[in-house]
Amino acid sequence: MTAVSMPNAGRAGGEAVLTDIDLTAINTIRTLAIDAVQKAQSGHPGLPMGMAPVAYTLWTRFLRYDPKDPAWPNRDRFVLSAGHGSLLLYALLHLARVEAVDAQGRGRGRPAVSLEDIKAFRQLDSACPGHPEFGLTTGVETTTGPLGQGAANSVGMAMAERWLEARFNRPGHRLFDYRVFALCSDGDMMEGVSGEAASLAGHLKLSNLCWIYDDNHVTIEGQTDLAFGEDVARRFRAYGWATLDVADANDTDAFAHAVATFQRSVDRPTLIRVRSVIGYGSPHKQGTSKIHSDPLGEEEVRLTKQAYGWPQDAQFLVPDGVRERFAQTLGERGARLNAAWREGLAAFARADAGAAAELAALWSGAPPAGWDADIPSFPADAKGMATREASGKVLNAIAPNYPWLVGGSADLSPSTKTELEFDGAGDFQPGGYAGRNLHFGVREHAMGAIASGLALSGLRAYTGTFLVFSDYMRPPTRLAALMALPVVYVFSHDSIELGQDGPTHQPVEQLAALRAIPGLITLRPADANETAQAWKAALGQTRRPACIILSRQALPTLDRAEFAPAGGLARGGYVLADSAGGAPEVILMASGSEVALCVEAWRRLGREGVRARVVSMPSWDLFEAQDQTYRDEVLPPAVTARLAVEEASPLGWDRYVGPRGRIIAMHSFGASAPGKDLRVRFGFTPEAVLAAARALAGRA
């Protein structure tokens, strides 16, 4: 092949050399992005244009990835954290002929991204949405777009590799040694979540992690120096990362040298800073001042293609030899490595059938057999215990039977009771990556995103913090729901009754915010036995995340000989207590700690001859999933005297109480005082519930 030269400013040793077909492949990536954005009249062509040489070099020279088996467990991960540049990834998937697979990794007999998909960029039902979506497009390792999230996900992926390596690799059997690459933009570097995640990655010495930073000094408003002037490399060195510089994105040889240097690292993650000019790739090329976050326009498309030496009128052109070049490099390398790995897996299974069976169960996505066999049952106790205490006991009963259940808290495990305390649980730390207790530090946002990265790698992840701080991790929680990842979020200190810490720590609107996330199961158990059932419901999910909302204060453990079994939690809402003698005159409903208030009022109403029903509503999501017949049995339409009680925002309860019902809830922030005083101040007393119930039943 004829050799052509690309600019090599800033690097000693002369010019980096590319063959004609390499340069053609790079320009194919660029022009596919240009044409797709122009056709859609929407999107961001700049990043694919600028970083095409970098991505092409990574994929063809380094990435261990089998396009015919994109679910290969030991593949290298490539995360496009800068999800606005989605066409870079779509072009790579198309040119590499990555095959589409289903959730079980079975081939679908079609490409992951066809040329027609690229032509339908940002259109309904295309495999090429505006930002990459996990589960929609094979080869997309995680949903990205909200900046910083993909970068933080990649830390979870790197942690998962280290955990799998520590648990399953044996002398003579090296099953796991993959690396994780994330392509990040200036915007990713500005978002706080990436800093949180990078700090933790440096502490953990994740030498299998490499972030590639497209340093083009441009964001939507203009040059980054409007708001961003720090030395990113120095910041990352302070985090404990190695940092490498590539002065020109077109210098593929310099970039290759940087990746090779990363691959030799054994004690820290690596940041490769690549200088580019958005839309062109080289910091030394001059061109239009237009920031390429929009379609270029017909005239500029023609001029840009002319600069690339491309047919100006050609659209969606993939020249002969480009797909073949990917097959000869990425494809052949990936197939060879995958085949060798499969042989190694078979040998591993012969040597250790038990560990191989555990791996197969992990990859299936289903809980292991017998995982719930030791979930405790709690005896009736008027004093009871905080549901956070019960949760810790349940978690530690489940975890020994669930070997790949890992998690921790944002520096709050003594309060959230999320530490695994059984023998052998251990801590995940440098030199001890098999530990199952993860320590995230005071980094809620990164914790949520890292948990998604763990889940995307097959591990079952849980997190812990106070409910009020769910606000700090809402973006990754939302994305986990969008990706259908079965992460479990433990949120304790669930109401104003945490007391003297005051309104900054007392959640009011957080329950409503979590219930608003589509696909997220929100569980707020009323006592210890409902808490046990909440864990069973949460870990029984394979395609949905769940949050378990827990009390700081002790709650009575209800006598299930008198009240309905706690297994009713699985249906979201159930009749906990009823009265004889006909249909109820009034229905009292609540979740969590306020169920006990309703029970006390129910007893007193019974003594007064008022037929009342208590409905425990730990999960609206699960209740709404029941058929109408069941819901009408629990909340008979004819009974319109309904009272809901919850120490949180009333938002949403109106659907259950109806126009004639009433809600006792929070209409303001709380206050700093002992919990007993706050209950009186804000009207969460048996007397207040009783008075409202009497009025609704016409017995005032």
In this predicted model, what pLDDT tens digit does every residue of 656-677 receive, in sequence order?
999 999 999 999 999 999 999 9
Check whether residue 584 and residue 673 sit in a common domain: yes
| Confidence check: pLDDT of 2 > 50 | no
pLDDT of residue 144: 98
- Number of residues assigned to the chain: 700
Cα radius of gyration rounded to whole Å, the chain: 28
Asked if the model's pLDDT at residue 435 lies above 50, the reply is: yes
Cα separation, 186 vs 277, whole angstroms: 12
* pLDDT class of 621 with cuts at 50, 70, 90: very high
Which residues are identified as catalytic? 444
Distances (CA, A) of 269 to 259, 430, 496: 12, 12, 42
pLDDT above 60 (res 522): yes
What is the Cα–Cα distance from 636 to 630, expressed in whole angstroms?
10
Give which of 440, 441, 372 is closest to 406, Cα–Cα: 440
Show Cβ contacts of residue 676 under 8 Å, excluding neighbours closer than 6 positions. none
Domain boundary among 556, 583, 605: 556
Verify that 188 and 296 share a domain, yes or no: yes
Question: 528, 556, 584: which is the final residue of a domain?
Answer: 556
Domain containing 682 — which CATH number?
A: 3.40.50.920
For residue 565, give every residue at least 6 positions away whose Cβ sits within 8 Å of its Cβ, in sequence order, or none. none
561-570: which pairs have CB atoms within 8 A and are 24 or more residues apart? 561/380, 563/599, 566/527, 566/529, 566/530, 566/532, 566/533, 567/533, 568/616, 569/523, 569/525, 569/530, 569/533, 569/534, 569/537, 569/616, 569/618, 569/619, 569/622, 570/533, 570/536, 570/537, 570/622
- In this structure, are residues 537 and 488 in contact, taking their beta carbons and an 8 Å threshold? no
Q: Which residues pair with 273 in a beta bridge?
A: 213, 245
Q: According to the 3-state scheme, what is the secondary structure of 534-596?
A: HHHHHHCCCCCCEEEECCCCEEEECCCCCCCCHHHHHHCCEEEECCCCCCCCEEEEECCCHHH
Stretch 470-480: mean pLDDT: 98
The H or E element containing residue 458 is: none
Q: How many structural domains is the chain composed of?
A: 3
Domain assignment present for 364: no
Q: Are residues 15 and 144 in the same domain?
A: yes
Q: At what angle do helices 474-483 and 444-456 cross, to 10 degrees?
A: 20
CB-count burial class (<10 Å; 0-12, 13-18, 19+) for 609: exposed
3-state SS assignment for residue 177: coil
pLDDT band per the 50, 70, 90 thresholds, residue 700: confident
The burial class, CB within 10 Å (0-12 / 13-18 / 19+), for 686 is middle
User: Do 141 and 283 share a domain, yes or no?
Assistant: yes
By residue range, what is the domain housing residue 545? 381-556
Mean pLDDT of the chain: 93
- Going from the C-alpha of 490 to that of each of 7, 153, 238, 261, 595, the distances in angstroms are 53, 19, 31, 40, 20
CATH of the domain at 389: 3.40.50.970
pLDDT digits (tens, 9 = 90+) for 438-472: 999 999 999 999 999 999 999 999 999 999 999 99
pLDDT in tens, 273-313: 999 886 544 444 444 334 446 788 999 999 999 999 999 99
- Cα angle 162, 165, 168 (rounded to 5 degrees) comes to 145
281 and 245 in a common domain: yes
pLDDT of residue 279: 57
What pLDDT, on the 0 to 100 scale, is given for residue 50?
95
Whether residue 143 is contained in a domain is answered as yes
Q: Report if residue 438 sits inside a domain.
A: yes
Q: Is the pLDDT of residue 1 over 60?
A: no
456 Cα distance to chain centroid: 8
168 pLDDT exceeds 60? yes
Is 368 part of any domain? no
- Residues 159 and 259 placed together within one structural domain of the fold: yes
In a domain, 146, yes or no: yes
Specify the pLDDT at position 227: 83
Q: For residue 537, is it within any domain?
A: yes
For the chain, percent of residues with pLDDT exceeding 90: 90
* DSSP E strands, 105-159: 107-111
Give me the residue label for tokens 């530490």: 419
pLDDT at 167 over 90: yes
DSSP-derived 3-state class of residue 443: coil
Helix, strand, coil proportions of the chain in percent (round to 5)?
Answer: 40, 15, 45
Residue 64 predicted with pLDDT over 80: yes
> What angle in degrees, to the nearest 10, is found between the helix axes of 353-364 and 332-351?
130
List C-alpha distances in Å: 155 to 74, 88, 197, 545, 615: 16, 22, 7, 19, 43
Distant-in-sequence, close-in-space partners of 162: CB < 8 Å, separation ≥ 6:
204, 206, 208, 428, 433
The dihedrals phi and psi of 482, each to the nearest 5 degrees, come to: -65, -35
H-type alpha helices, 62-208:
86-95, 115-119, 149-168, 186-190, 192-204
Residues 523 and 624 in one domain: no
pLDDT of 9 = 30
Distance CA 318, CA 310 (A): 11
> Percent of the chain having pLDDT more than 70?
95
pLDDT at 290: 44
Per-residue pLDDT for 153 more than 60?
A: yes
Q: Is residue 354 part of a domain?
A: no
Interaxial angle between packed helices 528-539 and 387-398, expressed in degrees from 0 to 180 and rounded to the nearest 10: 40
**Is pLDDT above 60 for 11?**
no
Rounded Cα distance between 401 and 368, Å, is 8
107 and 246, same domain (yes or no):
yes
Task: Give me the residues paired with residue 77 across strands.
Answer: 180
Q: Are residues 149 and 209 in the same domain?
A: yes
Claim to verify: residue 228 and residue 315 sit in the same structural domain: yes
Question: Alpha-carbon distance 191 to 247, whole Å?
Answer: 24
Give me the residue label for tokens 């708001």: 227
Same domain, 224 and 124: yes
- Rounded to an integer, the average pLDDT of 494-510 is 94
User: b/e per residue, 380-398, with b = 16+ CB within 10 A?
Assistant: beeebbbbbbbbbbbbbbb
Candidate from 74-88, 225-239, 415-429 with smallest mean pLDDT: 225-239
Domain boundary among 313, 339, 365: 339
Inside any domain, residue 346 = no
DSSP per residue, 287-355: -----SSS---HHHHHHHHHHHT--TT--S---TTHHHHHIIIIIHHHHHHHHHHHHHHHHHHHH-HHH
| pLDDT exceeds 50 at position 564 | yes
Residue type, 136: L
Note the pLDDT tens digit of each residue in 357-390.
999 999 999 999 999 999 999 999 999 999 999 9
Question: Do 583 and 550 sit in the same domain of this protein?
Answer: no
Between 286 and 201, whose confidence is greater?
201
Q: At what angle do helices 46-61 and 86-95 cross, to 10 degrees?
A: 40
